[in-house]
Amino acid sequence: MNKLLSLLLLLPLPVSSSELFHTSISMACMKEKECTAGVVEVDLEGQESETREILNYLKEIGVEVYKAVPQYFKKEFRAVYYSDDKLIFINAGYLYNKKDLLEVLRHEGWHVAQDCEAGFDSPELVPIYEYSEVPQKFKDDALMRYGFDPFVIKIETEAIWAMYTPKMTINELEKCKKVITYEQG
Residue of 6 and 173 predicted with greater confidence:
173
Residue 20 reports pLDDT greater than 50: yes
Could you count the other beta carbons within 10 Å of the beta carbon of residue 175?
14
Residue 161 phi, psi dihedral angles, 5° rounding:
-55, -50
Contact 159, 135 (CB under 8 A): no
The pLDDT-based confidence of 18 (bands split at 50, 70, 90) is low
* Residue pLDDT, tens place only, 66-90: 999 999 999 889 999 999 999 999 9
DSSP per-residue letters across the chain:
-HHHHHHHHHS---GGGGGGSSSHHHHHHHHTT---TTEEEPP-TT--HHHHHHHHHHHHHT-EEEEE-GGGSPTT--EEEETTTTEEEEEGGG--SHHHHHHHHHHHHHHHHHHHHHTSSSSS---SS-GGGS-HHHHHHHHHHH-S-HHHHHHHHHHHHHHTSTTHHHHHHHHHHHHHHHHH-
